[in-house]
Structure 1
Amino acid sequence: MSLQATTSQTVGPYFSIGLTRLKRVDLAGPGVSGERITIEGRVLDGERKPVSDAMIEIWQADSHGKYAHPEDDQKKPLEPGFQGFGRIPVDENGKFSFTTIKPGAVPGPKGNPQAPHIAVSVFMRGLLRRLVTRIYFPDEPANAGEFVLNLVEPERRATLIAKKSVNQIGTLEWNVILQGPDETVFFDIGL
């Protein structure tokens, strides 16, 4: 018997079947502590045209740096009402928006704390595998020593750091650009 990986299949156009119940645009319910933020952006192709059939999946820790997942065995409190996971479809203009709290630091390699971040997967028609990236926060002192962020060439790090909105307090802007000179940094997670 031969053990080999099966062929990957494209995720669209019917990937929304069965995923509707997992759609969640507010990860932090009422009473969850932490700095409440909204992240808005767009998914754009290499010509800066909107991708209208993408879905963003996000995972993050709560403000204490604990994930709402049974495998997170840190001795930190878990906020009741904090989901830590959401799936957000884009609209016909490639726009998405979600509300959450700024995550706390989580352990990284050798137990060193990672800078606050949100893990992001991008799914869309034509992709054989999801794209994996991260959102980091502007003006975050821990970014300077962040293990993963420092693996990225300095000139490309800005694609991973959200920007403060000039129009709305508490809102950050972060776009997914699939190709070209400003392409978002995507990570190979070795699937």
Structure 2
Amino acid sequence: MTRTPTASQTVGPYLHLGLTRMTFPDIAADATQGETIVIAGRVLDGEGQPIPDALLEFWQANAAGRYAHPEDTQDKPLDGGFLGFGRVPTDRDGQFSFTTVKPGSVPGPGNSLQAPHIVVCVFMRGMLRHLYTRIYFSDEAGNAADPVLGLIGDESRRPTLIAQREPGSNRYRWNLVMQGAEETVFFDC
């Protein structure tokens, strides 16, 4: 008996079919401490077309800079109503939006501090492996010294990770571009 390898397959349309009930677009509860913000944008392909069936997961520290995880033993306060996790699908126009609190700085390599950021994991059809990226904030002075942003050799690509604050509001705009000239920086985790 011989075994013939089967063809590999890409991820199917299960994201909206199987995970629609498991979305968490409001990471910040009413009692969560810190500045409540909204991050909205679109997920686009290399030609600027919307990707209507992506799923984005978010992990972040609370406003004090502490993760709701047992391995985070920093002497910073936990916020009992804040888990630091969210999940949102894109709509047919590739749009997404979620509400959270602006995170605090967290420790980085050595004795450095990382600028406030949100870790993003991207799932979508056609990808066998999910991708990781980050959202930083345009109004944070700590971006200049952030050790992870500093790893991006081509400084012209760093803005793909920075959400722009809309003037006079608590809203940030950030688009995720999967490939092409404006491709978002992704990290190999």
Structures share fold, TM-score greater than 0.5: yes
Question: TM-score w.r.t. structure 2 length?
Answer: 0.90
The structural deviation recorded for 1:180 is 1.2
Instruction: Indicate yes or no: 2:148 matched with 1:123.
Output: no
Counterpart Cα distance in 1 of 2:52 and 2:157 = 25
Question: Which amino acid is 1:160 matched to?
Answer: L
**What is the aligned-residue identity percentage?**
58
Post-superposition offset of 1:70 = 2.1
Which segment drifts farther, 17-26 or 64-73?
A: 17-26
1:176-191 equivalences under 5 Å are 176-189=176-189
Alignment partner, residue 159 of structure 2: 158
Instruction: Specify the alignment match of 1:77 in structure 2.
Output: 77
Q: CA 1:149–1:9 in structure 2 vs 1: closer, same or farther (change >3 Å)?
A: farther
Under a length normalisation based on structure 1, what TM-score does the superposition of the two structures give? 0.89
Higher alpha-carbon Rg: 2
What do you get for the CA RMSD once the two structures are aligned?
1.8
The 5-angstrom pairing of residues 21-170 of structure 1 reads 21-152=21-152, 153-165=154-166, 169-170=169-170
5+ residue gaps, structure 1, are: 1-7
C-alpha distance in 1 between matches for 2:83 and 2:9: 29
Measured at CA, do residues 35 and 44 of structure 1 come closer, stay the same or move farther in structure 2, by a change above 3 Å? same
Q: Which runs of 5+ in 2 are unaligned?
A: 1-7
Aligned to 1:3: none
In 1, the alpha carbon distance for the partners of 2:51 and 2:19 equals: 19
More strand per residue: 1 or 2?
A: 2
**SS at 1:134's partner residue?**
strand
Mapped contact 1:62–1:78 kept (Cα < 8 A): yes
Which 4+ runs in 1 deviate beyond 2 A?
8-12, 15-22
| Alignment match, 1:12 | 12
Superposed displacement of residue 9, structure 1: 6.2
What is the count of residue pairs matched by the alignment? 182
